[in-house]
């Protein structure tokens, strides 16, 4: 069984890039457009790892991460946030919300894959 990655990002461009990169690397992907949709598809997709953006409409990445962590089934699923290099504040807030790690945008496909591999068994 392939590792299943749930990607949450409001940008179609980024979603597609993630899709292509992750599929090429042999992952299964499930996508959501914002935090709300992410929480909706969480249970039905039962991902092994989550990659999420921070700035999103309706429910941002912080809220989404908190939401995931409040679900007993997903308290410890690894969550990686997509963040820009400079943004330490966001990184820290994401961690407080329960993020496992981060991926610096714009992401380099190999780094993305290795970051996911770092947090998944």
Partner 1 sequence: MDMNEIKEIFFQECEEQLTELETGLLAMNDGDDDPETVNAVFRAVHSIKGGAGAFGLDDLVAFAHVFETTLDCVRSNKLEPDETVMKVMLKSADVLADLTAAARDGGTVDPARSSTLAKDLEALANGQPLPDGDAAPEAAAPAAPAAPAEPVAEAAPAAEASEGPAPTDDSGFQPVPFSFDDMDEAPAEEAPEAAADGKVYTVEFKPNAGLYAKGNDTALLFRDLAQLGQMEVRCNSEALPDLEGMDPEDSYLTWSITLTTESDEDAIRQVFEFAEWDCKLEVTAGKPDADENAEEAPMVPVPFDLSMLGEPEKEEAPAPAAEAKEVAAPATAPAPAPAPVPAAPVAEVAPTPAPTPAPTPAPEPAPAKAASPIIKEPAKKPKVSAVAPAQQIRVDLERVDRLINLVGELVINQAMLAQSVGENEETVSGQGNNINLGLDELNQLTREIQDSVMAIRAQPVKPVFQRMSRIVRESADMVGKNVRLVTEGENTEVDKTVIDKLAEPLTHMIRNSVDHGLESAEGRMAAGKDPQGMVKLSAKHRSGRIVIEIEDDGAGINRDRVKQKALDNGLITPESNLSDEEIDNLIFHPGFSTAEELSDISGRGVGMDVVKKSIQSLGGRISIQSNPGKGSIFSMSLPLTLAVLDGMVVSVADQTLVVPLTAIVETLQPEKSDIHGFGAKQRLIAIRETFCPLVDVGEILKFRDEPADPIEGVALLVESEGGGQRALMVDAIQGQRQVVIKSLESNYSNVPGIAAATILGDGRVALILDVDMIVSASKGQGLALEEMMSA
Q: Which residues contact 30 (CB under 8 A, 6 or more apart)?
A: 4, 5, 6, 7, 41, 45, 47
**Residues numbered 32-51 forming contacts with partner 1, rule: CB under 8 A:** 35-36, 39, 48
Six token digits for residue 74: 């997903």
Site string for partner 1, 44-83 (x = CB under 8 A): ----x----x-xxxxx---xx-xx-xxxxxxxxxxx----
Main-chain phi, psi angles of 25, to 5 degrees = -85, 0
105: contact with partner 1 by CB under 8 A: yes
* Residue 54 contacts residue 79 (beta carbons within 8 Å): no
30: contact with partner 1 by CB under 8 A: no
Q: Report the C-alpha gap between 52 and 35 in whole angstroms.
A: 8
Shortest gap between Cβ of 32 and partner 1 (angstroms)? 13
Q: Report the C-alpha gap between 43 and 32 in whole angstroms.
A: 12
Shortest gap between Cβ of 26 and partner 1 (angstroms)? 4
By the criterion CB under 8 A, which residues form the site for partner 1? 1-4, 10-14, 16-17, 19-20, 25-27, 35-36, 39, 48, 53, 55-59, 63-64, 66-67, 69-79, 84, 88-89, 92, 95, 98-102, 105-107, 113-114, 117-121
């Amino acid at each position: 069984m392939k590792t299943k990655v749930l990607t949450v990002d409001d940008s179609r461009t980024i979603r597609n890039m993630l899709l292509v990169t992750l599929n090429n690397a042999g992952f299964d992907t499930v996508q959501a457009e914002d935090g709300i949709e992410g929480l909706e598809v969480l249970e039905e997709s039962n991902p092994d790892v989550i990659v999420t953006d921070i700035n999103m409409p309706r429910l941002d990445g912080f809220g989404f991460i908190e939401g995931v962590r409040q679900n007993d089934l997903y308290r410890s699923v690894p969550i990686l946030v997509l963040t820009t290099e400079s943004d330490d504040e966001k990184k820290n807030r994401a961690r407080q919300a329960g993020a496992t790690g981060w991926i610096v945008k714009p992401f380099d496909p190999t780094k993305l894959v290795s970051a996911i591999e770092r947090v998944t068994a």
